[in-house]
Amino acid sequence: MHHFHYREGELCAEEVPLRELAERHGTPLFVYSHATLVRHVRRYQSAFRTAGQGALIAFSVKANPNLAIVRALANEGAGADVVSLGELERALAAGVPAGRIVFAGVGKRPDELRRGLEVGILQFNVEVEGELDHLEAIAKELGRPAPIALRVNPDVTPQTHDYIRTGGKVNKFGIPWERARAVYARAVASPHLEPVGLACHIGSQILTLEPFRIALERIAGLVRELRADGLPVSRLDVGGGLGVRYRDEVPPSLEDYADTVVAALKGLGCELICEPGRVIMANAGILLTRVLYRKETEQKRFLIVDQGMNDLSRPALYGAYHEVIAVREGVGLMEADVVGPICETGDFLSRGGQVPDVAAGELLCAMSAGAYGRSMSSNYNTRARAGEVLVRGAEAFLVQEREELSDLWAREIVPGFLSEVAPPASTAAVGGDPESPAAPPASVD
C-alpha cells in the first residue's frame, strides 16, 4: 500500500499535487510519503508482536540513507543496519541510538570497526574470520569487549536476481556453514570478544516464504548445536529480503512472514533483529520526471525524459521494472520506450511496454523508487543528482537539495603544471603530412 493517488485529476503524494512539487523544485525529483513509510514500519513491528515474538526493526540504511527518512523511522523505534562508516555516521546523525545499530558487511576496515566500538553499537555481524583478529586488537586497546554475531551462510539460494542472492556457497557473504561452530567457539574463548548470537541474510526481493523457512530452521539447528557445546547464544539477526510489488508480483504478507520466522525459531528464546529495507521504502517513494521530446522511427516510438540511469540505475543494472504513470489523470496508453539523456543504450526507464501517451513537457512518475533509487544514483555524464522531498499530509519538505553543477568538481584539483602555457603545436602534430619525418631533436653541446 502507498499514499500516491489521483485527486481532482492530478497525481498527488498524500495531499500534495506532484505538479506543484515539480514546479517548485524541478525534475527529476524523488518524492517520499511519510505516511507510507511509517505505516510500513509499524506494520512490520505489529506483525512480529502478533506472532508472539517482538523484534528490533533495524532499517537497512543502504536502501535509502536520507537523514529525514532514517530519523522518521528512528522516531518509530527502529534501529539501523549499516554496512559502512558513512552509513554508521549517517545513522548517528539522524538520531538512531548507537545501541540500536547493527554493523554488517563483508569488508569492514579497522577504522570502521574502531568507530563502531567507540560509540557502543549493538553488534557487529562478522562475516570473515580475519575480522575477529582486528576486533580483538581494537577491543583490547579500548578496554571494552566487542559484541558480535556470526553471520552464517546457510547455503540456501532463493529465486531472485543473481546479483542480490547472498545465501549460497558461491556468494562472498557469511561464514561457511562448515566453519561456523569452530569460529563461534574461538570467539567465545576470546576475552576481548562478546559473542551474542548468529545472523543470516539470504538475499533480496524474495517472493516466497520457503527459502526463509529452510534457512532459519538450519540456523535454529546450529543454535542448538552451539548450546550443546556449552556456548551462549542469546540473539538472532534474521536479516531482510522480503519482496515487494513492482508490477504483478504477489509477495507474502508481513504477517505470514513473521509467522514463518517465529515458527522456525520456536523454543529458542532468542532476541530477534530484522533488517528490512526495500519492503519499508520501495513503495514509499517515486521519481518524478518530465518528458523532453517524443521521437518516432520506423521501428520504435520513444519518450525522452530528463531522468537518466544516473538517477535511477535499477533498470540498467538489474533489468528492473518500474511502473510509469502520468501525473495527469486519464491519459491513454501507447507502446513506447521511455528513455533518458545518458549516452548509453542501457539508459531506459521502461521499454517494450505500454506507457502514457503524453506530450513533450508533461510529467511522468516512476513508481516504487523509494528504495535503491537516490541511494544508488551517480554523477555519470556530469549530471547533478536529483533533489528529494518528503511529504507529510498537505506539507512538503525539501530533504535533499539538488546538486549544483559546480559541486561536482569542487573537490577536484588541477596540478599547477597543467596551468602553464603550452607552446603552439606544430603543423605535423595537428594534421600535417603523415609521411613527413619528424624534425630531428636539437643538438646539445
- Residue ending a domain, among 218, 243, 276, is 276
Grid cell 512518475 in the structure block, residue: 365
pLDDT of residue 441: 45
pLDDT of residue 323: 96
246-2-94-202 Cα dihedral, nearest 10 degrees: -30
How far CA 176 is from CA of 96, 134, 156, in Å, comes to 31, 19, 12
| 171 shares its domain with 252 | yes
Q: How far apart are CA 323 and CA 283, in angstroms?
A: 11
- Note whether residue 246 is domain-resident: yes
| 176 shares its domain with 288 | no
pLDDT of residue 437: 47
CATH, residue 224: 3.20.20.10
| 229 shares its domain with 121 | yes
- Note whether residue 56 is domain-resident: no
| 139 shares its domain with 210 | yes
pLDDT of residue 445: 39
Range of the domain at 71: 65-276
Task: Give the SS3 label for residue 383.
Answer: coil
Joined grid coordinates for residue 21: 512539487
| 88 shares its domain with 202 | yes
Mean pLDDT by 10 residues, the chain (445 residues): 94 98 98 98 96 96 98 98 98 98 96 98 96 97 97 71 42 80 96 97 89 92 96 96 89 95 96 96 97 95 97 92 97 97 94 96 97 96 97 98 96 91 61 48 42
Find how far residue 332's CA is from the centre of its chain: 33
- Residue ending a domain, among 246, 276, 306, is 276
CATH, residue 339: 2.40.37.10
- Note whether residue 50 is domain-resident: no
- Note whether residue 98 is domain-resident: yes
DSSP annotation string for 123-138: EEEE-SHHHHHHHHHH
| 239 shares its domain with 304 | no
| 205 shares its domain with 339 | no
For Cα atoms 66, 72, 78, give the angle at the middle one, nearest 5 degrees: 105
| 224 shares its domain with 360 | no
Q: How far apart are CA 138 and CA 136, in angstroms?
A: 6
pLDDT of residue 443: 41
- Note whether residue 241 is domain-resident: yes
CB 174 within 8 A of CB 222: no
Task: Give the SS3 label for residue 287.
Answer: strand
Q: Which phi and psi (to 5°) does residue 135 adopt?
A: -65, -40
- Note whether residue 104 is domain-resident: yes
pLDDT of residue 440: 46
| 329 shares its domain with 202 | no
| 192 shares its domain with 247 | yes
pLDDT of residue 439: 47
12 tagged catalytic = no
CB 133 within 8 A of CB 186: no
Number of structural domains the chain divides into: 2
Residue 272, burial from CB neighbour count under 10 angstroms (0-12, 13-18, 19+): buried
What does DSSP say about strands 175-176 and 285-296: parallel, antiparallel, or unpaired?
unpaired
- Note whether residue 96 is domain-resident: yes
Joined grid coordinates for residue 130: 580475519
| 287 shares its domain with 258 | no
Active-site residue (options: 12, 200, 343, 365):
343
pLDDT of residue 115: 98
How far CA 303 is from CA of 14, 19, 361, 366, in Å, comes to 27, 19, 11, 13
| 156 shares its domain with 298 | no
**What is the Rg, in whole angstroms, of the alpha carbon atoms belonging to the chain?**
26
- Print burial letters for 338-368: b (CB count within 10 Å at least 16), e (below 16): bbbbbeeeebbbbeeeebbbbeeebbbbbbb
- Note whether residue 159 is domain-resident: yes
Q: How far apart are CA 332 and CA 363, in angstroms?
A: 14
CB 33 within 8 A of CB 281: no
Grid cell 508481513 in the structure block, residue: 254
- Residue ending a domain, among 220, 245, 276, is 276
